[in-house]
Amino acid sequence: MLHADRATLPALDPGDPASLDDLLTDDEKAVRASVRQMLDRSAEPFIAEWFERGGIPNIRELTKELGALGVLGMHLEGYGCAGMSATEYGVACLEIEATDSGLRSLVSVQGSLAMFAIWRWGSEQQKQEWLPRMAAGEAIGCFGLTEPDAGSDPGSMRTRARKDGSDWVLDGRKMWISNAPYADVAIVWANTDDGVRGFIVPSDTPGFSAPEIKHKLSLRASATGELVLDNVRLPESAVLPEARGLKGPLSCLNEARYGIVWGALGAARSSLEAARRYALDRVQFGKPIAAFQLTQQKLADMSLEYIKGYLLAVHLGRRKDAGLLRPEQVSIGKLNNVREALEICRTARTVLGANGISLEYPVIRHQNNLESVLTYEGTVEMHTLVLGQALTGHAAFR
């Protein structure tokens, strides 16, 4: 057995004590670097202000910049999409959410929900019409599934689509829809006489509106709205021809959940690093609080949970790239990583004391954002039951 001389070992990076960086390829590191460079220039200096004011004033310019970077629908092939690997997409999500969950939601809804729905279930004409513009950030999409009375149980949705001659007429409401207030197109799911179907609804269609939801204390940099469909008339060409039943929308949600597995770690990393640096600078009782045992325990516990979450994300990314990732495994990642990321943010807040609630630091912003991430794209309860069914063979959802 070879015994390494301690003096010859590479230096330990306190920001990466487990050397997780070794798990990434050069291409994955290049994606990370390019995304981080763009965010440091165009988002990081302004994100606290955007959160405080409740929106991004230059959202269309920022979306086009994200499109030029290649992160919108970056894991999709063709139609102007970058065609990168699932792990590269995950690394990008981590970096984006390290700036803010609202930005990662913008990218995730655009690429993994709206674009993926068209890419996976749409006609060739629909793909040609929408995907290149959406990949470039020239058209913004949203995804209408959740309703005021239908969240975890989408099968109970009340939005209806009925045939009227050769057209379809949609009536209903969707709630808590990211990107809705400024979206150019909505993917709307509705019950029909033939089961659940998906529709591409341009936002300028008569009878369609998307009023913004105000007074949020979470995901404030992300515009969230309601979709109101009042006798919205669409041609047959608006129907996603390959999507029938709940399989369509649920497949899109699975794509978005995968991005969350990585993204939540970004919020956790940002908060952990803020706490570590603060603990080294903050002096009490004549020494940095980082020198006290209880502070070190907090930092060590946060670091351990981040490391474990990152290992899980990389593992799931490799499985997705190999075509082996099951929906239940995505649930494992979403359940664990968001829950632990939120706990990291809460613990980091205690290290910062009163400063932890100030937007001068990123921690309370990440913590508030993750309160939403914890329950969207599947609540803790739902993902727990998905794993429970995988373990026992018994469905306990009803």
How far is Cα of residue 103 from the mean position of the Cα atoms in its chain?
A: 8
Q: Which amino acid is at 52?
A: E
Reduce the DSSP state of residue 197 to 3 states and report it: strand
The 8-class DSSP code of residue 374 comes to T
With 0-12 / 13-18 / 19 or more C-beta atoms within 10 angstroms meaning exposed / middle / buried, residue 346 is middle
| DSSP symbol at 24 | S
Residue with tokens 């706990």: 343
User: How far is residue 225's CA from residue 256's CA, in Å, rounded to a whole number?
Assistant: 18
How far, in Å, CA of 5 to CA of 359, rounded? Answer: 45
Q: CA 69 to CA 331: how far, in whole Å?
A: 29
Q: Is 257 exposed, middle or buried (0-12, 13-18, 19+ CB in 10 A)?
A: buried
Among residues 196, 179, 302, 305, the alpha carbon closest in space to that of 245 is found at: 196
Query: Is 98 exposed, middle or buried, given 0-12, 13-18 or 19+ CB atoms closer than 10 A?
Result: buried
Residues 6+ apart with CB under 8 A from 154: 145, 146, 189, 196, 246, 249, 250
Q: Residue 204: is it exposed, middle or buried by C-beta count within 10 angstroms (0-12/13-18/19+)?
A: exposed
Sequence-distant (≥ 6) Cβ neighbours of residue 269 within 8 angstroms: 94, 98, 306
3-state helix, strand, coil in the chain (%, to 5): 55, 15, 30
Query: Which of these is catalytic: 28, 61, 377, 381?
Result: 377
Q: Is 371 a catalytic residue?
A: no
Environment class of 197 (CB within 10 Å of its CB; exposed 0-12, middle 13-18, buried 19+):
buried
Report, as residue numbers or ranges, the catalytic residues: 377
